[in-house]
């Protein structure tokens, strides 16, 4: 049988077939050709029409159950509307399929050109919208593009350092780490920035500090901490501003740039607030990794390290707590099996950024993975032994774990916690210590 090219199809005949018995696809196709033969004359003979490509491949979809069969017949046609209607009417005259009584009803005759017209209209609308947007941008967009190009082209040098065009004549200077930071500030209208060019302080900077009021604007990462320490030792800057935690100055939006500069801190205030060599910008980063984290299950006294012989720890400021808990649980040195540490570390690494939690039984078999906010409901009716979550271990979560006999709570960070039988482990402990 010839298959009708899809491009020549004008109509699709769809019919429903119901047979009182078990019939198959060859039976139905044979009935269509056999029982319509000679009904409409030689010009509309199905076999001849299919041979010449004016009727396409007849498709049959049939299902059988409880000794009955039902299904769908589709016939593509490139005949005109009246001839297609005659073919459809002839199909309805079929009364038997194989040995079974059957009935065929035409459900619809679809003009495929209507669907093509709709597609053409929709596509034309989309193309026109794109054409108008690309060809006729708003005046504000054009104006902003021109301003950014001009600002970016204005980068120059000041004392051999990359700088904005106003750095030489301005009374105050904003020191940033690199050229990309100067470009971002220029894009946002700040023209008095100067780049120090890395973590080493150039000799030219000492002369600039003596002549102008200096605001240091650094990235919110470890590199920014190192540059700040070096500047404190080698120069006398006036103010310090920092990008949000984990962000760099070169990627800040205009709103974030001006917010950080508004919140700058004077160097005198920063020195007063510094403790044990740490600035207030560093404390939040070092608080969880500088202090001993739980990694062994025996107290230090049992491990042979007397309490009074432990090295003194800096007195970092502790986060505020609720009225219910007026003390933090003493940090214990805990010993856990290496198998536990490996599974906890791998699970926590997979959860980062998902705000989800994994629940394990006492054999460390995964019971399920749920949103962190649904932990309480998920613990109902199961025997959980350990919970690993992408988030901070809070006092409330410790209480819930204890009431459900959970042994281990593993999170990215921990709040101030009450004394509890639950062992709390943070990411810093898993990365910084070797489990046994």
Regarding whether 425 and 308 lie in a shared domain, the answer is: yes
- Using CA atoms, how far apart are residues 403 and 268, in angstroms rounded to an integer? 49
In a domain, 129, yes or no: no
Give yes or no for residue 73 having a pLDDT over 90. Answer: yes
pLDDT band of 383, cuts 50, 70, 90: confident
Query: Do 76 and 58 meet the contact criterion of CB atoms below 8 Å apart?
Result: no
Q: What is the pLDDT of residue 13?
A: 92
Q: How far is CA 258 from the centre of its chain?
A: 27
CATH number for the domain that contains residue 49: 3.30.70.60
In a domain, 337, yes or no: yes
Give yes or no for residue 96 having a pLDDT over 50. Answer: yes
Regarding whether 170 and 66 lie in a shared domain, the answer is: no
In a domain, 270, yes or no: yes
In a domain, 269, yes or no: yes
Burial of residue 358, with CB atoms counted within 10 A of its CB: 0-12 exposed, 13-18 middle, 19 or more buried: buried
Regarding whether 162 and 64 lie in a shared domain, the answer is: no
Q: What is the mean pLDDT of the chain?
A: 77
Give yes or no for residue 15 having a pLDDT over 90. Answer: yes
Checking phi first, is residue 41 left (phi over 0); if not, alpha (psi -120 to 50) or beta? left
pLDDT band of 66, cuts 50, 70, 90: confident
Cite the DSSP H helix spans in 136-250.
139-153, 179-187, 203-211, 222-234
Last residue of a domain, one of 94, 114, 134: 114
Give yes or no for residue 184 having a pLDDT over 90. Answer: no
What's the predicted TM-score (pTM) here? Answer: 0.34
- Using CA atoms, how far apart are residues 180 and 159, in angstroms rounded to an integer? 18
Q: Which residues contact 279 (CB under 8 A, 6 or more apart)?
A: 225, 228, 240, 270, 273
Regarding whether 45 and 71 lie in a shared domain, the answer is: yes
Q: What is the pLDDT of residue 18?
A: 92
Q: What is the pLDDT of residue 76?
A: 92
- Using CA atoms, how far apart are residues 281 and 274, in angstroms rounded to an integer? 9
pLDDT band of 334, cuts 50, 70, 90: low
Last residue of a domain, one of 283, 317, 341: 283
pLDDT band of 141, cuts 50, 70, 90: low
Number of other CB atoms surrounding residue 202 within 10 Å: 14
CATH number for the domain that contains residue 256: 3.40.1360.10
Give yes or no for residue 146 having a pLDDT over 50. Answer: yes
In a domain, 125, yes or no: no
Query: Do 109 and 85 meet the contact criterion of CB atoms below 8 Å apart?
Result: yes
Q: Which residues contact 256 (CB under 8 A, 6 or more apart)?
A: 243, 244, 247
| Longest pairwise C-alpha distance within the chain | 110
Q: What is the pLDDT of residue 38?
A: 84
Regarding whether 327 and 277 lie in a shared domain, the answer is: no
The larger pLDDT score, comparing residue 245 to residue 353, is at 245
φ/ψ of 274, rounded to 5, equals -70, 150
- Using CA atoms, how far apart are residues 405 and 321, in angstroms rounded to an integer? 24
Regarding whether 209 and 102 lie in a shared domain, the answer is: no
Q: What is the pLDDT of residue 222?
A: 79
In Å, what is the CA distance from 391 to each residue of 339, 355, 357, 382, 406?
Answer: 22, 7, 9, 22, 17
Number of other CB atoms surrounding residue 402 within 10 Å: 15
Give yes or no for residue 204 having a pLDDT over 90. Answer: no
- Using CA atoms, how far apart are residues 178 and 105, in angstroms rounded to an integer? 77
pLDDT band of 136, cuts 50, 70, 90: low
In a domain, 44, yes or no: yes
Regarding whether 86 and 29 lie in a shared domain, the answer is: yes
- Using CA atoms, how far apart are residues 413 and 398, in angstroms rounded to an integer? 13
Give yes or no for residue 329 having a pLDDT over 70. Answer: no
Q: How far is CA 222 from the centre of its chain?
A: 25
In a domain, 292, yes or no: no
Cite the DSSP H helix spans in 311-394.
338-351, 375-378
- Using CA atoms, how far apart are residues 386 and 363, in angstroms rounded to an integer? 10
- Using CA atoms, how far apart are residues 97 and 316, in angstroms rounded to an integer? 88
Last residue of a domain, one of 283, 312, 335: 283
Regarding whether 110 and 61 lie in a shared domain, the answer is: yes
Residue range(s) defining the domain that contains residue 44 = 8-114
pLDDT tens per residue, range 21-39:
888 888 888 888 888 888 8
Regarding whether 392 and 321 lie in a shared domain, the answer is: yes
HSE-up of residue 404 (Cα within 13 Å, Cβ side): 25
HSE-up of residue 281 (Cα within 13 Å, Cβ side): 29
Q: What is the pLDDT of residue 333?
A: 61
The larger pLDDT score, comparing residue 211 to residue 13, is at 13
Please tell me the total count of domains within the chain: 3
CATH number for the domain that contains residue 350: 3.40.140
Regarding whether 279 and 304 lie in a shared domain, the answer is: no
Regarding whether 314 and 246 lie in a shared domain, the answer is: no
In a domain, 70, yes or no: yes
Regarding whether 168 and 58 lie in a shared domain, the answer is: no
């Amino acid at each position: 049988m010839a298959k009708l090219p899809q491009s020549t199809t004008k109509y699709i005949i769809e019919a429903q077939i119901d047979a009182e018995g078990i019939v198959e696809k060859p039976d139905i196709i044979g009935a269509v050709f056999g029982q319509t033969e000679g009904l409409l004359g030689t010009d509309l003979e199905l076999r001849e029409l299919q041979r010449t490509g004016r009727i396409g491949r007849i498709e049959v979809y049939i299902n059988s159950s409880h000794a009955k069969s039902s299904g769908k017949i589709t016939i593509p046609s490139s005949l005109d509307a009246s001839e297609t209607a005659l073919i459809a009417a002839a199909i309805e005259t079929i009364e038997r399929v194989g040995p079974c009584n059957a009935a065929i009803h035409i459900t619809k005759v679809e003009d495929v050109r209507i669907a093509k017209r709709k597609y053409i209209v929709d596509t034309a609308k989309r193309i026109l919208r794109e054409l108008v947007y690309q060809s006729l941008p708003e005046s504000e967009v054009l104006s902003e593009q021109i301003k950014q190009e001009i600002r970016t082209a204005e980068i120059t040098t000041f004392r051999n350092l990359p700088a904005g065009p106003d750095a030489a004549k301005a009374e105050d200077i904003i020191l940033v780490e690199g050229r990309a930071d100067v470009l971002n500030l220029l894009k946002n209208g700040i023209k008095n920035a100067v780049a120090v060019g890395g973590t080493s302080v150039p000799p030219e900077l000492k002369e600039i500090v003596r002549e102008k009021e200096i605001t240091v604007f650094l990235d919110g990462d470890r590199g920014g901490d190192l540059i700040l320490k070096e500047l404190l030792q080698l120069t006398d800057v006036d103010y310090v501003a920092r990008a949000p935690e984990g962000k760099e100055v070169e990627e800040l939006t205009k709103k974030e740039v001006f917010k950080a500069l508004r919140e700058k801190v004077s160097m005198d205030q920063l020195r007063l607030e510094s403790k044990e060599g740490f600035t207030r910008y560093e404390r939040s980063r070092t608080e969880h990794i500088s202090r001993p984290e739980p990694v062994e299950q025996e107290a230090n006294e049992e491990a042979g390290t007397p309490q009074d012989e432990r090295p003194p720890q800096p007195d970092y400021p502790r986060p505020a707590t609720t009225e219910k808990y007026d003390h933090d649980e003493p940090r214990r040195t805990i010993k856990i099996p290496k198998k536990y540490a490996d599974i906890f570390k791998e699970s926590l690494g997979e959860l980062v950024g998902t705000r989800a939690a994994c629940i394990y039984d006492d054999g460390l078999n995964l019971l399920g993975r749920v949103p962190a906010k649904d932990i309480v409901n998920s613990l109902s009716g199961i025997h959980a032994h350990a919970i690993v979550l992408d988030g901070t271990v809070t006092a409330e979560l410790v209480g819930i774990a204890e009431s459900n006999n959970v042994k281990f709570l593993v999170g990215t960070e921990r709040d101030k916690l009450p004394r509890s039988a639950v062992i709390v482990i943070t990411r810093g402990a898993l990365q910084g210590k070797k489990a046994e």
